Structure 1
Amino acid sequence: MTTTASTELPRQRIALITGANRGLGRSTALHLARQGVDVIITYLNGAAQAADVVADVQALGRRAVALRLDVGTAASFAGFAEQVRSALAANWQRQQLDFLVNNAGGGINAALADTTEEQFDLMINTHLKGTFFLTQKLLPLIADGGRILNTSSGLARFTFPGYAAYASAKGGIDVLSRYMALELGPRGISVNVLAPGPVETDFGGGAVRDDSALNQQLAAMTALGRTAMPDDIGATAAALLLGGSGWITGQRIEASGGLLL
């Protein structure tokens, strides 16, 4: 008795990563590309940076597309979803992608007593509302069995002065992700949270990267004895999206090197 081997090729995996023109999003895109994943990245103001990331991904032999997106403006999400739909059809002859990484955002550092309503709304709209409604609009474009990774922060667990509004929005993402995991479970879609600790990027004006005294202070509080580099977080994100992590869902994974254990 003979058997005929299947000639069907594995489907090309595609990830959408918001805010991937720099920092953690860029690192995530490159780590995924190195492991055979094509990417759609978004940017807000860094068009030239986004073009560089696309070129870097293409140099790794993968396809990449950059689209502009303001994650703080929910009214734009329906139009953005149509751009994604068109990009999938034009570049991959596909209707759906496999991975969504909600990464884009920014922070403020303001004492509780000094935080304005506008600053608070910016944090909620960018992080919590943006993650909620962007994911909602993209759900038809995420394949069954896909994976969603939402970005929170170590500041939702430990506290430092000046981050109340930012951390409150990120704490909301932790809760939201559990509800996403429950409601999307019947489609086989896993949803998890990646919560970085201090990373040497331009976040917060580059303080962790550029202020040596602050960097040393944070490193002294960290079990692994240093602050993170972007590739530490990008590698973790890729690991949570690929390989044998499919049975993990509804979980918050903190990547802080053991800060304030």
Structure 2
Amino acid sequence: MITQKIALVTGGSRGIGKDIAISLAKKGVDILLTYRSNLAEAEKTVAAIKLLGRKAVALPLNTADTSSFDEFFLQAAAELKTTFGTDRFDFLINNAGTSLTAPVTETTEAQFDEMMNIHLKGVYFLTQKALSHLHDGGRIINISSAVSRVSFPGVSAYGIMKGAIDVYTRFLALELGARGISANVVAPGAIFGGGAMEDTPEIRAYVAATTALGRVGLPDDVGGVVSFLCSEDAKWVNGQRIELTGGMNL
């Protein structure tokens, strides 16, 4: 019997997360997505997934607030039972996040803590809580960034946290191997369209000029790679970091 696959996609209402959710739905995966505050966008994404013939539910989640995780997984467990008819999901996509542009000399402790809580502490402990709901043989995909490899002015706090996620993912791959769970990193470069990063014609021109393929990144440059990593074709990919930049700063 073929069991229907389900993905939990954090920050799945817009931008990269939305494209990931829709790309997975196109591959026949049902979606449980989270949103921070924009219910309207989340509902649009859920509707788009349902039009593809897949089941979808959106739940609110602040990934920076670890104290909310127990309640979130109670809600998720209830939705898994009532909407999807199961008590487990198969894929965890840690995508939720925001950006920060501030020089090292001007980054405040509050800004640093926000980046840590969203991009590192939140991911670490949300994953920890998720593991009891994740099927053996499942997949974890953590969304990192090109700035964990290449340095740019003004993104030190963000880049530090994404670099830590690259390391964390290797430990997940090692420690969860006994359960048949793989863990990989997808590291996009500058992605324009629906995200939180600054978007101006000047920035787009700079990114395109430093990218081998000669254009900026778009959300649909990411979702297909994540859906590949959740497929049987990627069953032997584990502990890896896949950069999606079109060849930026080679």
8 Å CA contact 2:14–2:195 kept in 1: the answer is: no
| Superposed counterparts of 1:240-251, under 5 Å | 240-251=229-240
| Superposed counterparts of 1:110-259, under 5 Å | 110-207=102-199, 211-259=200-248
Which of 31, 40, 43 aligns to 2:35? It is: 43
Determine the C-alpha separation between the residues in 2 that align with 1:16 and 1:62: 14
- Please give the root-mean-square deviation of Cα atoms over the aligned residues, in Å: 0.9
Determine the C-alpha separation between the residues in 2 that align with 1:243 and 1:106: 31
Per-residue deviation at 1:206? 4.0
Determine the C-alpha separation between the residues in 1 that align with 2:218 and 2:110: 31
Q: Spell out, residue by residue over 1:94-140, the C-alpha distance to the aligned partner (whole angstroms, 9 max, x if none).
A: 11000000000101100000000000000000010011000000101
TM value normalised by structure 2: 0.98
Which of structure 1's runs of 4+ aligned residues deviate more than 2 A? 201-206
Determine the C-alpha separation between the residues in 1 that align with 2:138 and 2:196: 32
Assess, with a 3 A threshold, how the Cα gap between structure 1 residues 24 and 55 changes in structure 2: closer, same or farther: same
Gaps of 5+ in 1: 1-7
Assess, with a 3 A threshold, how the Cα gap between structure 1 residues 62 and 159 changes in structure 2: closer, same or farther: same
8 Å CA contact 1:15–1:97 kept in 2: the answer is: yes
Gaps of 5+ in 2: none
Determine the C-alpha separation between the residues in 2 that align with 1:203 and 1:99: 22
Larger radius of gyration: 1
8 Å CA contact 1:99–1:146 kept in 2: the answer is: yes
Determine the C-alpha separation between the residues in 2 that align with 1:206 and 1:164: 16
8 Å CA contact 1:109–1:204 kept in 2: the answer is: no
Percent sequence identity is 46
Determine the C-alpha separation between the residues in 1 that align with 2:84 and 2:36: 24
TM value normalised by structure 1: 0.94
Letter in 1 for 2:188: P
Determine the C-alpha separation between the residues in 2 that align with 1:98 and 1:235: 17
Letter in 1 for 2:240: Q
Aligned length in residues? 250
8 Å CA contact 1:105–1:126 kept in 2: the answer is: yes
Determine the C-alpha separation between the residues in 2 that align with 1:201 and 1:118: 27
